[in-house]
Structure 1
Amino acid sequence: MPLPAARTSLADLSPTIALGALDGRYRSAVAPLLDHLSEAALNRARLHVEVEWLLHLTTTAVVPGADTLSEQEAQELRAVVTDFDAAAIEELRQIEAETVHDVKAIEYYLRRRLSEVVGPQRAGTLGELVHFACTSEDVNNTSYALMVQGAVEQVWLPRARALVDQLSTMAHELAEVPLLAHTHGQPATPTTMGKELAVLAARLRRQLDRVGRASYLGKLNGATGTYGAHVVALPDVDWQDVSRTFVEQLGLTWNPLTTQIESHDWQAELYADVARFNRVLHNLATDVWTYISMGYFAQVRGQGTVGSSTMPHKVNPIRFENAEANLEVSNALLDVLASTLVTSRLQRDLTDSSMQRNIGTAFGHSLLALDNVSRGLAGLDAVPEAMAADLDANWEVLGEPVQSVMRALAARGVEGMSNPYERLKDLTRGRRIGRAELVDFVRGLGLPAAEEERLVALTPATYTGLAASLVAHLDD
């Protein structure tokens, strides 16, 4: 039968009931992002920009004859940002309900606080410099740049770097553990588990280096990027210098050429790099999941955990499966952000405003995946015996080194070494061979004694080339 009609609407039970998983089931894992990419964080960042713009105008005497703030008053005004709390959030909500404009609500809220700091009389004149010559996008673009910068540099990058360090440590620990490779899903030239993990760690680290070099751009130049209102109000001011110094004092890179909006190209670049990191991490999750299924890793069951609801023997690789799903959601959002934000009709449209409200969700799913992969890796024990058993069951992979030695000898003019590839193909293709068959074949080739003994001593487990030493490149 269909789901029965509910007697009570869940929406009426509690305002904390979440529609999305990040604000519900997974809130604790993504909570650090709330300080940077939530709606409240956006309003706090807007207040920060508005306060600093007011102080910039007054302390640099941009407006001749305008009142200035004392050092103590400036500190009290900055405290409006540092002390931003639940009461501030509620007051802003009420103001916005009247203005039906989020940035205008910030302006009115700051005027109230300014009046408390300097008194109603001085606030009457100083208040005219709140949001002076600004379009909303002057405040929004710098706010988002500061928010994303904080989220990346203070939350996402440290978590991502910690995960790569964790993976690198595993690579070093397993550098010499031989592993049967599987190219195209088929038994192939052996490697080591550590070397394969090192490949993934190096790929991830390269993307983190790109993210770490990201530029966060900002602009403050008016309704169409021309400083029109600025120049008419105060024609003798070097407005480009005022704008540049203000944006740089915020810790951002100044963009001198924009429409009404900062073009968001830096965001598209950053999100593409984060998405690429996510995709490599997805590759790690699927590879480790596969190694678990092969028995190369055993999962360490935590106290009280349940692997399967019906099969007591199972410990499901849920951390890696959860990570896969969250990385896919994150990338879907990052991709649409990157592709959409670079376009704005003529001098401005509002699609970017709605789109940017999903930045926190995109980073939230990535952060959740980082948490799951880290916890998943921490719960693994390598099983060298399982890897050794697969190696010992696939002696045919030594056909490659035998024919390579024969080629080298043939190139030096040694007789009887012709057609090595074809001869090894006849021996190995489509069937399993063991050590005895391989040794008999090698003994019958007429190889020089040294090469013969070297090949006879070779095993799948020792045929790993330089794999173990390659892991050291992680320390370059």
Structure 2
Amino acid sequence: MEDALSPLDGRYNNQTRDLSPFFSEFALTTYRISIEVRYLIFLSELHIISLTSKEKQKIKEIATRFSKKEYARIKTTEKKVNHDIKAIEYFLQGRLEDMGISSVVSFIHFGLTSEDVNNLSYSLMLKESKEKVMEIAISNLIESLVQVSSNSIDIPILARTHGQPATPTIFGKEMANYIYRLKKQYDKIQRHHFDGKLNGAVGNYNALHFAFPHINWVTHVSNFISKLGLIPHPSTTQILPYDSHLEYFQHLQLLNGILLDLSLNIWNYVMLGILKQKNENREVGSSTMPQKINPIDFENAEGNLILAQGMIEVMVRKLATSRLSRDLSDSTVRRSYGVMCGYSLVAYKSIIRGLGKISVDKESAAFELNNHWEVLSEPVQTYLRMKNNSKAYEILKKQARGKIWDKKAYYALLEGMGLEKNEHLTRLSPLIYLGLSKKLAKSILKRGEKVNSLSIL
């Protein structure tokens, strides 16, 4: 793919090819043909046209056996007529005539507008790519994170607030925070449904009602859309409001934001020496510095997530509006649905790879904790508060603010305050002052919630 304009079709082609059956130009044409074919059979079920079972099967096979050669014919026609849906209509007319089913040719695209076909196609593209690609990638990512959290459920680390040493925690609990957040968004993505409409030029069934006023078009069309696995929208202009598409993108946007936060913080833990990376002998970290092992998977994820987030912002801003009953400015934007999903997918796969290469450096984490006994100023001042010392915070602030303690300095503090025999305080160390962090992490991991049919632990 050396001539590819987009990195998704070039450098990242192997990682994004699962999306091609849903978002490529060939896929879009296939979805459109499928809608036109299903609609023709729908008209036969309403007894508007007559089709035998054998003819219905032949018509269905136009979509299921659609070829690249036929696609090329449609694109040639499209160049002449300058209209993609009309080119498909002409193609279907020719196919039906070749099959000897010319009696129904005039009912192809009957009473419809292009957007009836387009909105159903795009909603199905999003629905099926969500179920068959995006959900699987997200669930695999969460499973990978569960593994990292489970492996580090007993490893204490120094927490940081504002970048400064803070109360200790457990690395597994820090990862459990992300698991809970990601699972919440994953559940919303799984439950999300897409809308659809099929109601003519301005949403009023004008042509259909004119032709067959005795048919309850609202009810029958709703049933047709429901059978596609979509939610019938009760009232529209020429276009389906993009709300259900945008809601899905916003679920992805929040999930991507959480993953961006994860990627940045994994990078920080690597930088601080808390995490070590697997040394892959075949890999090179730098073209000039042989010692380097860089957190490139998380850096790659960061860049691709930012690209995906930017596209979602544009889509939400643009597709929430339309001039009167319709304008065409939405067309080029929605053609980029697959690009946004592609950048997200590349990021998900990068994070999964990265999570498989990291582990907590226990010695480094313990060394750091043992060099920051000043974090125990919190339990000391808490103890003094329990003893009704109203100046507890101020006392410890004077002793600890901006200072670094070792074990000796901590015990000197206790002795100076007459607390050297207090077992609650003398038994403490930064390695065990962990609160309920381990219990909290386990509560997330043992909820019994399921990701991709697998229980979290």
For 1:352, the equivalent position in structure 2 comes to 330
1:439 Cα offset (Å) = 1.5
| Root-mean-square deviation (Å) | 1.5
Q: How far apart are residue 267 of structure 1 and its match?
A: 1.1
Q: C-alpha distance in 2, partners of 1:454/1:436?
A: 17
Report the alpha carbon displacement of residue 438 of structure 1 after superposing the two structures with TM. Answer: 1.3
What secondary structure sits across from 2:317 in the alignment?
A: helix
Aligned to 1:380: 358
Q: Which residue is 2:454 aligned to? A: none
Equivalent residues in 2 for 1:38-437, closer than 5 Å: 38-61=24-47, 63=48, 66-70=49-53, 72-117=54-99, 119=100, 122-123=101-102, 125-410=103-388, 417-437=389-409
CA drift at 1:292: 0.6
The secondary structure found in structure 2 opposite 1:310 is: coil
1:128 is displaced (CA, Å) by 1.4
Q: Any conservation in 2 of the 1:247–1:254 contact (CA below 8 Å)?
A: yes
Q: Is the 8 A contact 1:58 1:69 kept in 2?
A: no
For 1:88 and 1:193, the matched residues in 2 are separated by 56
What secondary structure is seen at the aligned counterpart in 1 of 2:158? strand
Judged with a 3 Å threshold, the aligned counterparts in structure 2 of structure 1 residues 16 and 308 are, in CA distance, closer, same or farther, namely closer
* AA of the residue aligned to 1:453: E
SS at match of 2:214: coil
One-letter identity of the residue aligned with 1:281: L
Q: For residue 30 of structure 1, what is the aligned residue in structure 2?
A: 16
Report if the CA contact (8 A) 1:200-1:284 is conserved: yes
Aligned to 1:473: 443
Shift in Å, 1:288? 0.2
Look up the equivalent residue of 1:257 and give its one-letter code. S
Q: Which moved more, 1:75-84 or 1:394-403?
A: 75-84
> Structure 2: how far apart are the matches of 1:74 and 1:301?
59
Partners in 1 of 2:285 and 2:279 — Cα distance? 8
The CA deviation at 1:183 is: 0.2
Tell me which amino acid in the other structure corresponds to 2:88: I
Q: Gapped runs of 5+ residues in structure 1?
A: 1-14, 411-416
For 1:199 and 1:383, the matched residues in 2 are separated by 20
Kept in 2, the 8 Å contact 1:268–1:339? The answer is no
The 3 A distance-change label for structure 1 pair 348 and 423 is: same
Aligned mates of 1:298, 1:216 — CA distance in 2: 43
Aligned-residue offset at 1:69: 2.9
- Aligned pair partner of 2:429 in 459, 466, 469: 459
Deviation at 1:382, TM superposition (A): 1.7
Q: Counterpart in 2 of 1:6?
A: none
- The answer to which structure, 1 or 2, has the higher relative contact order (CA under 8 A, 6+ apart) is 2
CA distance in structure 1 between the partners assigned to 2:155 and 2:92 by the alignment: 63
Match of 2:450 in 1: none
2:229 is aligned with what amino acid?
G
Alignment gaps of 5+ in structure 2: 448-457
Structure 2 counterpart of 1:34, which letter?
S
When residues 16 and 103 of structure 1 are mapped into structure 2, their CA distance, relative to the original with a 3 A threshold, is farther
Alignment identity in percent?
Answer: 38
Structure 2 residue matching 1:191: 3-state secondary structure: strand
Q: Is the 8 A contact 2:189 2:248 kept in 1?
A: yes
Q: Which amino acid aligns with 1:260?
A: Q
SS in 2 for 1:248: helix
Query: Which whole-Å deviations, capped at 9, do the CAs of 1:31-68 have from their partners, x for residues lacking one?
Result: 0000111111111100110110000110231x2xx322
Shift of 1:447: 4.8
Shift of 1:177: 0.5
Structure 2 match to 1:441: 413
Q: Which amino acid aligns with 1:67?
A: S
TM-score using structure 1 length:
0.91
SS of 2:166's equivalent in the other structure is strand
Secondary structure of 2:276's counterpart equals strand
SS in structure 2 at match of 1:465: coil
Q: Which amino acid aligns with 1:204?
A: L
- Note if contact 1:47-1:81 (Cα within 8 Å) is conserved in structure 2: yes
Work out the CA distance in 2 between the residues paired with 1:183 and 1:16.
Answer: 46
With the length of structure 2 as denominator, give the TM-score of the two structures: 0.95
| CA contact 1:271–1:335 (8 Å) conserved in 2 | no
SS where residue 181 of structure 1 aligns?
strand
Cα separation, 1, equivalents of 2:323 and 2:436: 55
Report the Cα offset of residue 381 of structure 1.
2.3
The change in CA–CA distance for 1:303 and 1:132 in structure 2 (over 3 A counts) is: farther
Maintained 8 Å contact 1:210/1:273: yes
